[in-house]
Amino acid sequence: MTTNLPDADTLRALYDEDGKTVREIAALARCRPQTILAAMEAAGIARRRRGRRRTPLPDIDPETLAEIARLGGRARARAIARSLGINREKFDLLIGYRLGNRGQIETQVLALRDAEIRAAYDAGVAVNELATRYGCTRRAISRSLDRTTPTPGTKENPKRSPSL
């Protein structure tokens, strides 16, 4: 039995533009999915990830999203993400939070805000208040402060000679 395999352009149009799966294309061509996969590989067509298709990110500028998150805090981030039709991790990516392994938030406060947090702390603002202000945990604020603590021997904090 011979099959009429689609040419490379047709395969690309069906797979990439129309969004058909390998199984759907195989059913149209009346062949096995492995045959379609071999033809796609020969044509240089990159495969998509398996599973549920991801929703596209909303077309909102990151500054606006960051301002929304800052005003509403982390508690509102989940509700805002839900109203945009995305999950909280995508929302975090949009506003600039860095994600770690398995989608967990690695650092809740941007490194760009470390100096701002240090200045507020040095001015007498409590860690709890900083955590509320930046919508993160006290531990994240403490880590931010640790990153900006001057170490002995640097230009900002030179080593002192022992006095005799």
Global pTM reads 0.36
pLDDT confidence of residue 12: 92
Return d(Cα 87, Cα 81) in angstroms, integer. Answer: 6
Count of Cβ atoms closer than 10 Å to residue 31 Cβ:
19
Return d(Cα 123, Cα 135) in angstroms, integer. Answer: 19
Provide the pLDDT confidence category of residue 164 given band limits of 50, 70 and 90.
low
Question: Higher-confidence residue: 136 or 58?
Answer: 136
Percent of the chain with pLDDT over 70: 63
What is the H or E stretch that residue 106 is in?
strand 105-107
pLDDT confidence of residue 162: 55
- Name the least confident of 36-45, 49-58, 119-128: 49-58
- Angle value at C-alpha 19, between 15 and 22, nearest 5 degrees: 50
- Give me the residue spans of the domains in the chain: 1-53, 54-104, 108-150
CA 131 to chain CA centroid, Å, is 22
Structure-token pair, residue 161: 């000679």
Return d(Cα 90, Cα 78) in angstroms, integer. Answer: 10
- Angle value at C-alpha 134, between 114 and 121, nearest 5 degrees: 50
Which CATH number fits the domain 1-53, given the four candidates 1.10.3470, 3.30.70, 2.40.160, 1.10.10?
1.10.10
Does the pLDDT value for residue 59 go beyond 90? no
pLDDT confidence of residue 106: 39
List pLDDT tens digits, range 15-29: 988 888 899 999 999
